[in-house]
């Protein structure tokens, strides 16, 4: 009986919390767990204000948390990106950048190169 409960708990803990309809993220969706989803949905503490130019990108093709994590990681890897927040629900990537090191068009290309359609927002 203990083995059955343990097996059921293990199965529940490893089950995906969502399914990716877009398929852009490959195997990443199948690795996502409820814990990962909860971390993404948990409101973060108010961050310190980051100085720099604000850039907003419209990103299409994201369908899950793993997709937005992929875009976030790609953007944060760019020299000059001070902060990056990507919201899969709105399809927006909000960044604060050092405009002496990068610009909106270069960041849009980074997102496009990672497999998603991107345009610079005019907000």
Domain boundary assignment for the chain: 5-120
* Phi-psi category of residue 52: left, alpha or beta, with phi > 0 → left and psi -120 to 50 → alpha: left
How confident is the model at residue 115, as a pLDDT? Answer: 93
How confident is the model at residue 33, as a pLDDT? Answer: 37
Give, for all 123 residues of the chain, the pLDDT tens digit: 554 444 444 444 433 344 455 555 555 554 443 333 333 343 444 455 668 899 999 999 999 999 999 999 999 999 999 999 999 999 999 999 999 999 999 999 999 999 999 999 876
Q: What is the pTM of this model?
A: 0.63
How confident is the model at residue 52, as a pLDDT? Answer: 86
How confident is the model at residue 122, as a pLDDT? Answer: 73
Please state which CATH number belongs to domain 5-120.
3.30.70.100
Least Cα distance to 59 among 14, 120, 122, 118 occurs for: 118
How confident is the model at residue 123, as a pLDDT? Answer: 64
Inter-residue contact 112 to 118 (CB < 8 Å): yes
How confident is the model at residue 51, as a pLDDT? Answer: 81
């Amino acid at each position: 009986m203990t083995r059955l409960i343990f097996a059921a708990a293990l199965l529940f803990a490893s089950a995906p919390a969502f399914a990716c309809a877009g398929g852009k993220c490959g195997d990443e969706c199948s690795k996502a767990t409820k814990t990962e989803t909860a971390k993404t949905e948990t409101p973060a503490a108010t961050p310190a204000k980051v100085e720099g130019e604000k850039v907003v990108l419209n990103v299409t093709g994201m369908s899950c948390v793993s997709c937005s994590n992929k875009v976030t990681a790609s953007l944060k890897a760019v020299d000059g990106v001070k902060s990056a927040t990507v919201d899969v629900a709105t399809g927006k990537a909000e960044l604060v950048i050092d405009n002496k090191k990068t610009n909106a068009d270069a960041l849009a290309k980074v997102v496009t190169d990672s497999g998603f359609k991107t345009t610079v927002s005019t907000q």
